[in-house]
């Protein structure tokens, strides 16, 4: 089939998970619930960190950014899928598809880089505790986040530009719930070798490189903990990085599971279903992992809501006073 000019392609079609009408309400309700839990959970962490000056530390600064990115990742893909299910229209414009691809690559890559920065933060806190405040100063923390943004903005921009050069056949159905780069490349009728090479190189740079950095940081952390003589000191050191390690294992474990399952089944629908693990489930679970055993987050939220409740009750009483006075007169 001859490729058509890009200007003739107005829409792609996201096939999603199932074409059975009876399953659409179930899928809609499930993903709407997960999306709301993700947004609310991560907003609570953002609220806790921003409202309590005791949490204005490097660790919570990075956690603030991670929660913000988790909201962005899910907001890039889920709302459009929910709208398509509700309107029973699977179309997404060509410009919308390229934009969705760009934003997903950007925010997912930032997630990975930020996890690496957080691993370095834990390495400094455990292995160099006396110099922690000097090393992890606000300027360095801001610089690390800025570098993460610059690298991933350029990385996502490169893939988007290379996707624009692709020509597509008339079959523009994407067996996924969002415009994933790999699926776009598979649909192209033109030469995709440069795109595939850029995608593999990007995967090594954005996923493999940070993973090596995380492994190196934790190898040093384990060595440092092993050298501690106090059992209480070991437990305290491990507890400071337990949440981050859980998130890293969840994130990389789900990504590995997705690509192993897709390689085994060779099914795009199976890969789309499995990708829900790292695109939706992981951002949803992150707030629970970081807050369930974190007394600082719980205390900050409790203090915030107690203050708000007290302020609201005072305002209501003041508003009711004129009414009460007029009634007595």
Whether the CB-CB separation of 43 and 300 falls below 8 Å is answered with no
Instruction: List the domain boundaries for the chain.
Output: 9-295
CA angle 83, 70, 163 (to 5 degrees): 65
DSSP helix, strand, coil percent of the chain (3-state; round to 5): 80, 5, 15
Give me the pLDDT at residue 3, please.
Answer: 46
Question: Coil, strand, or helix at residue 92?
Answer: strand
Residue percentage of the chain with pLDDT more than 70: 85
Which is it for the CA torsion 53, 59, 61, 65, positive or negative? negative
Contacts of 130 (CB under 8 A, 6+ apart): none
Closest CA to 273 of 175, 198, 164: 175
What's the per-residue H, E or C state across 290-327?
A: HHHCCHHHHHHHHHHHHHHHHHHHHHHHHHHHHHHHHH
DSSP assignment of 101-156:
HHHHHHHHHHHHHHHHHHHHHHHHHHHSGGGHHHHT-HHHHHHHHHHHHHHHHHHH
Fold of 9-295: Rhopdopsin 7-helix transmembrane proteins (1.20.1070)
DSSP symbol at 273:
H
pLDDT interval class at 207 (50, 70, 90): confident
Beta-bridge partners for 173: 13
Question: Coil, strand, or helix at residue 194?
Answer: helix
Give me the pLDDT at residue 146, please.
Answer: 97
Closest CA to 84 of 39, 9, 27: 27
Q: pLDDT of 143-201, one tens digit each?
A: 999 999 999 999 999 999 999 988 887 768 888 889 988 888 888 888 889 999 998 88
Given its phi and psi angles, is residue 19 left (phi above 0), alpha (psi -120 to 50 degrees) or beta?
alpha
Whether the CB-CB separation of 67 and 289 falls below 8 Å is answered with no
**Statement: residue 9 has pLDDT above 60:** yes
Q: pLDDT of 86-110, one tens digit each?
A: 988 889 999 999 999 999 999 999 9
Give me the pLDDT at residue 328, please.
Answer: 45
DSSP assignment of 196-232:
HHHHHHHHIIIIIHHHHHHHHHHHHHHHHHHT---HH
Contacts of 41 (CB under 8 A, 6+ apart): 284, 286, 287, 288, 291
The alpha carbons of the chain give a radius of gyration, in whole angstroms, of: 24
CA 140 to chain centre: 23
Q: pLDDT of 268-322, one tens digit each?
A: 555 666 678 778 888 998 888 888 767 888 888 888 888 777 766 666 676 666 5
| Exposed/middle/buried for residue 178 (C-beta within 10 Å: 0-12, 13-18, 19+) | buried
CA distance 32 to 78: 8
């Amino acid at each position: 089939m001859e490729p058509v000019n890009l200007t003739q392609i107005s829409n792609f079609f996201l096939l999603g998970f199932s074409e059975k009408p009876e399953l659409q309400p179930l899928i809609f309700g499930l993903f709407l619930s997960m999306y709301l839990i993700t947004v609310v959970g991560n907003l609570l962490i953002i609220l806790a960190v921003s409202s309590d000056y005791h949490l204005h530390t490097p660790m919570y600064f990075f956690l603030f950014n991670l929660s913000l990115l988790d909201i962005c990742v899910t907001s890039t893909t889920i709302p459009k899928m929910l709208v398509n299910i509700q309107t029973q229209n699977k179309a997404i414009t060509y410009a919308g598809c390229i934009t969705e691809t760009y934003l997903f690559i950007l925010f997912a890559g930032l997630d990975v880089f930020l996890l690496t920065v957080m691993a370095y933060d834990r390495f400094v806190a455990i292995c160099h505790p006396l110099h922690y405040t000097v090393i992890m100063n606000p300027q360095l923390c801001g610089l690390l986040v800025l570098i993460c943004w610059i690298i991933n903005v350029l990385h996502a921009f490169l893939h988007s530009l290379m996707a624009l050069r692709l020509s597509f056949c008339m079959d523009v159905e994407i067996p996924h719930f969002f415009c994933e780069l790999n699926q776009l490349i598979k649909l192209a009728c033109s030469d995709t070798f440069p795109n595939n090479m850029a995608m593999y190189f990007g995967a090594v740079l954005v996923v493999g490189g940070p993973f090596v950095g995380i492994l190196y940081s934790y190898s040093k952390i384990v060595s440092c903990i092993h050298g501690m003589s106090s059992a209480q000191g070991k437990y305290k050191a491990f507890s400071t990085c337990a949440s981050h390690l859980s998130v890293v294992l969840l994130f990389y474990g789900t990504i590995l599971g997705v690509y192993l399952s897709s390689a085994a089944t060779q099914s795009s629908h199976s890969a789309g279903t499995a990708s829900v693990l790292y695109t939706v489930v992981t951002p949803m679970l992150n707030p629970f992992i970081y807050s369930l055993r974190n007394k600082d987050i719980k205390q900050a939220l409790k203090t915030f809501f107690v203050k708000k409740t007290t302020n609201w009750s005072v305002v209501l009483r003041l508003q009711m006073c004129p009414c009460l006075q007029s009634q007595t007169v």
